[in-house]
Amino acid sequence: MAAPPRKRIAVLGSLNMDLVPYVPHHPLPGETLTSSRFGTAPGGKGANQAAAVGRLSRSPDALADGDVDVAMLGAVGSDPYADVLRSSLASCGVATDGLRVLDGQRTGIAIIIVDEPSGQNRIILSPEANHALVPADFAALPDPRPDLLIMQLEIRLDTVLQALAAAKAASVPVLLNPAPAQTLPLDAYVGLAHLILNETEAAILAGCPESDLDDEPGLQRVASLFLERGVANVVVTLGGRGVYYATKAGKSALVPAHKVDVVETTAAGDTFVGSYALAAVHASPDDFDIDGAVKAANRAAAITVSRRGSQLSIPWKDELE
């Protein structure tokens, strides 16, 4: 009997070249700082999450043999950064034929200022080609149809909302990571399979102070609000505190983070999303083991924060054991 076709994940989102100064502390207003080091790295939440799905589901010496097929949908400019970003995704097993190359435009840039002592980062985005994707490009989801569509908010919001509508029309489940946070129309939440957001994003989208997320009852209240808006599975990532999840089926838990020596947190959230997506794409809505998915994602993200770098700090499948 022929093996069933491999599940397919599409990631619609940003690709950025990360320009990364490492500093002794984040600069204060008016302060000029000298960095101790400077790095460049392929990034963008979309590309990082695609890379996470690719790496967490395959081994580097058998890129074609992943547990899932993963494709990146996005746009780059016609500069040398575009080639770096495309080849980095390809080296993670991600299909890049859905990438649009825009003549005369720049590829997206992210300036990521890393505070060396804490590993915390602050980020400035220049979207450039990422903002050239318009709603008309996603009147329907591109073929082949994915089994799960992952999106973030580093591309135009109207494009994300159109892709969300196209996915709903095609009954394709969506995992939305609303980062960076922007207020969404309430109908965007209706029928959303998975909402994964960090504390800051959760507070902004829920319209409450971040301190409301300090304890489990507060987390429960905020997660309930998203469930009431129509989301099936809500996951709030809490950095070093771990993760809180709640589902419309009534499951919820606060799962602590793994204790690791933190080197750099860049791409922690993206690793989490990629790992969770791999569990979600293989489950039907009725038998999804969200607890298992969150615990696996917590483990994968803990490895990422214990290493330097962004996309390339995400572990491969064999490093998870």
Q: What residues are designated binding site?
A: 16-18, 44-48, 154, 198, 237-242, 266, 269-270, 298, 304, 307, 309, 313
CA angle 153, 279, 55 (to 5 degrees): 70
Binding site residue list for ATP: 198, 237-242, 269-270, 298
Binding site residue list for K(+): 266, 304, 307, 309, 313
Distance CA 270, CA 48 (A): 6
Nearest CA among 13, 41, 16 for reference residue 109: 16
The distance of closest approach from Cβ of residue 302 to ligand ATP in the complex, given in angstroms and rounded to an integer, is 4
* Sign of torsion over alpha carbons 52, 92, 7, 66: negative
Beta-bridge mates of residue 243: 237, 255
Residues within window 55-94 making contact with ligand ATP, judged by CB under 6 A: none
# chain residues binding ligand ATP, by CB under 6 A: 22
CB closer to ligand ATP, 167 vs 179: 179
Is 69 among the catalytic positions? no
Please report the DSSP string for 95-128 in residue order: B-TTEEE-TT-PPEEEEEEEETTT--EEEEEE-G
CB closer to ligand ATP, 72 vs 132: 72
Binding segment (CB under 6 A) for ligand ATP, from list 84-92, 155-163, 222-230, 260-268: 260-268
Give the full edge-to-edge strand order of the sheet including 7-12. Answer: 99-101, 68-76, 7-12, 148-151, 174-176, 194-198, 233-237, 243-247, 252-255
CA distances in angstroms from 125 to 108, 129, 300, listed in the order given: 8, 12, 26
Helices marked H in the chain = 45-56, 80-91, 157-169, 199-206, 216-228, 268-281, 290-305
Binding segment (CB under 6 A) for ligand ATP, from list 29-37, 109-117, 134-142, 295-303: 295-303
CB closer to ligand ATP, 162 vs 265: 265
The distance of closest approach from Cβ of residue 295 to ligand ATP in the complex, given in angstroms and rounded to an integer, is 9
Distance CA 212, CA 82 (A): 41
Question: Is 301 an interacting residue with respect to ligand ATP (CB under 6 A)?
Answer: yes
Question: Is 242 an interacting residue with respect to ligand ATP (CB under 6 A)?
Answer: yes
Question: What single-letter DSSP state applies at residue 59?
Answer: -
Q: Which of 112, 268, 281, 314 is in the footprint of ligand ATP by CB under 6 A? A: 268
Which residue number is nearest to ligand ATP in terms of Cβ? Answer: 269
Which one is catalytic: 61, 103, 270, 287?
270
Question: What single-letter DSSP state applies at residue 12?
Answer: E
Residues within window 177-206 making contact with ligand ATP, judged by CB under 6 A: 198
Question: Is 110 an interacting residue with respect to ligand ATP (CB under 6 A)?
Answer: no
- Would you tell me which residues interact with ligand ATP (CB under 6 A)? 198, 237-240, 242-243, 257-258, 260, 262, 265-270, 272, 298, 301-302, 305
